[in-house]
Chains A and B, each alone.
Chain A
C-alpha cells in the first residue's frame, strides 16, 4: 500500500476541519433525532403500582405496538387521507397556476412584467402563520369583507364549514407558494436558448404551440422539482389548520397527521406514539417523493 504523501495528509486535515462543524451539527439535528425517534417509537411507558397510578413508570420494549396503535387510530388515518386528498387537488392546481403565470409573463411585453412578477412573488414573503391569520380574518364572518359582500347579494357563504375548510386551507397554501414556484419555472425558461423560440415562430408555430411543444417540455426538470417540494410541504401541513382552529369547530385535533402527532405528544403526553407517527410521516413523505421521481424519470426516458 502506498503511504499518503505529506500533501494528502495536509489535505485530509484541512478538509475535515472545514467539514466537521457542519457534520457534527448535522448529526445532532438530523441523524440523532431520527435515530431517537426510531428508538422511542419502539418503547412504551409502563406504570407499576395499584391501578397503574402510584409507583414508578419505566419504559419497556414493545416492538411495533405504537405503529399499530397509530395506524388503528381513525383520526390519524383520516388525517392522512385528508392531506393526500389535499395534495391530489392542490398541488396540481398550484403547479398549473404557476406554469400559466410563468408562460404568460414570458409572453407579455416587457413594461409591466416587473410589477406583475413582484406582485405574484410577494405572498412568499408572508410567513405561513401570518398568511393563515390574514386569510382567517378574510374567512371569518363578522370581519371578512368577502362574507359581507356575498351576504349583501343574498349569498350565505361559509368558508369555514366542515366541507369547505380544507379548500380554504388549499387557497392559503396556493396563495403563498404559487408565485415562488412561478419564479423557479421562469428561471428555467430563461435558460432556454432564444433562437429555439424564434426558429419555431418562423416555422409558423403560434404562441400556444410554442408554449405547449417547446417551453413545457424544456421546463420539465423545474416542474418535477417544484412538485416534489410541494408534496413534502403538503404532508407537513400544520400551521394553517392550527391557526384556523380557534375560528371554527370543523378542525379537530387530528385534522392533519402532523397536528395529530403534535397533540399526541403535548396534549395527551404520549411521546412514544407521537414518535411513531413522526416516523410514519417521514416514511410516507420519502416514499411519495422518491416514487414520484421514479415515475417521472422513467417516463422522461421513454419520451425523450
Chain B
C-alpha cells in the first residue's frame, strides 16, 4: 500500500533529488567525504554477498549430480553438466516435475486473475457506491488481512472435506482467489483514479453498470490491477500450507509441495538430492524474472496511470 502510493514518482523524485544534491554539492557545506562513500559502498557490498551467496550456490549446484553435491566443494563448479542433469529431472517419473510446475502456474495464474477481477469489482463498489453499512463491510474485509493464513487453512480443510472439495484443484484455487489486501488497494485506487463526473457522463449516455465497469473502470484502474495481480501471483506461488493441508494426490501438487516430498525421501533415495537441487533452481527462475518486473514496475508504471 505504501509502495503503491508513494513510490510512484520515485523516478522523477530521484531525478529532482540528484539535481538538488548537485546544487548542494556545488555550493553547500556537505558533499559526503570519500571516507563515507567507501564505508557505505563496502557495507552494501557485504550485504549483497549475504543475499546472493545462496543463489550462487544454487546455480553452481544445479550443474552437479548427487555425487558431485557430496564430493566436491559447494562454491565451485566440478564437471558441470547442467543440461544432462536437468534433463534427468524433467524425465523423472514420467515428468512429474513438469506436471507440478504446470499446476503451480495454474494455481498462481488463474487464481491471481480471478482474484484481481473480484478485488477490482469489490473495491470499485466500496469506493463509488455509497450505501448504508459500507464502512462496516470494508472494515470486516480489512480485518481479514490480520488473520494468519495458516490459522484459516486447517478449519478450511475440515470445511472443504465436509462439502467434498478437499483434494481437488478447487481446494487450492477457491481460497486463493480471496484477497482482502487486493480489495483495500483497489478501493483506495478507485477512489482516486475514477472520476465521478466520468461515471455520470457514461450513465447519461445510457451505458449499463456492467459495461461501464468493464470498458471504463477497469482501464482506469490498470496500474492498481497489475500490482494486485503480481502480489497475488507471488502469494499463491509461495503458499505452502494450504496445498499441504488440502491435497493428498501428488498429481495435484504445486512445485513446493512436490519438492518437499523429495527432500523427505532423499536419505533413502540419494538421486533425489540432485533432483531437489535442480528442481529448486528451475522453480526459482520465473519468480526471479517477476521480481525484476515488479521492481521496475514499482518505479515507473504506477506514475503514468495515477495522475492524469
Residues of A within 8 A of B14 (CB): 110, 190
Is A166 in the interface zone, CB < 8 Å from B? Answer: no
Task: Flag whether A243 is at the interface (Cβ < 8 A).
Answer: yes
Known: A122-B291, A127-B287, A281-B148. A11 touches B129 (CB 8 A): yes
B220-241 interface mask toward A, CB cutoff 8 Å, 1 = contact, 0 = none? 0000000000000010011011
Would you give 21 A-B contacts (Cβ < 8 Å), ordered by A? Answer: A12-B131, A19-B122, A21-B122, A22-B178, A25-B178, A26-B141, A34-B147, A105-B44, A115-B48, A119-B51, A120-B48, A126-B284, A127-B283, A129-B259, A130-B280, A143-B69, A198-B28, A235-B148, A242-B260, A262-B245, A278-B150
- Given A33-B152, A33-B159: A23 and B47 interface contact (C-beta under 8 Å): no
Assuming the contacts A127-B240, A144-B74, asked whether A120 and B47 have C-beta atoms less than 8 A apart, the reply is yes
Q: Say yes or no: A125-B288 contact (C-beta < 8 A), given A145-B57, A188-B2, A282-B151.
A: yes
- A18 touching B122, Cβ below 8 Å: yes
A234: shortest Cβ distance to chain B, in Å?
A: 10
* Residue in chain A with minimal CB distance to B212: A14
CB under 8 Å from chain B, chain A span 210-232: 221-222, 225, 232
Q: Which residues of the other chain, B, contact A61 by a CB distance below 8 angstroms?
A: none
Does A87 belong to the interface (CB within 8 Å)? no
Within 8 A of B (CB), among A104-157: 104-105, 107-110, 112, 115-131, 133-138, 142-145, 148
In Å, the complex CA distance between A19 and B147 comes to 21
Interface of B is mostly: helix
- For residue B206, CB closer than 8 A to chain A, the reply is no
Chain B residues contacting A168 (CB-CB under 8 Å) are none
A266 → chain B, closest Cβ, in Å?
8
Interface 0/1 of A13-35, CB less than 8 Å to B: 01111110111011011101110
**Minimum-distance CB pairs A-B, first 4:** A145-B74, A15-B129, A37-B155, A18-B125
Which residues of chain B (149-190) have a CB below 8 Å from chain A? 149-152, 154-159, 174-175, 177-178, 180, 183
Contact partner of A187 among B2, B57, B131, CB < 8 A?
A: B2
How many interface residues does A have (CB within 8 Å)? 104
Q: How many residues of B contact A (CB 8 A)?
A: 102
Q: Are B263 and A243 in contact (CB under 8 A)?
A: yes
Q: Which residues of A pack against B, CB within 8 Å?
A: 10-12, 14-19, 21-23, 25-26, 28-30, 32-34, 36-37, 40, 100-101, 104-105, 107-110, 112, 115-131, 133-138, 142-145, 148, 175, 178-179, 183-184, 186-188, 190-191, 194-195, 198, 201-202, 204, 206-207, 221-222, 225, 232, 235-236, 238-239, 242-243, 246, 258, 261-262, 265-266, 271, 274-275, 278-279, 281-282, 285-286, 289
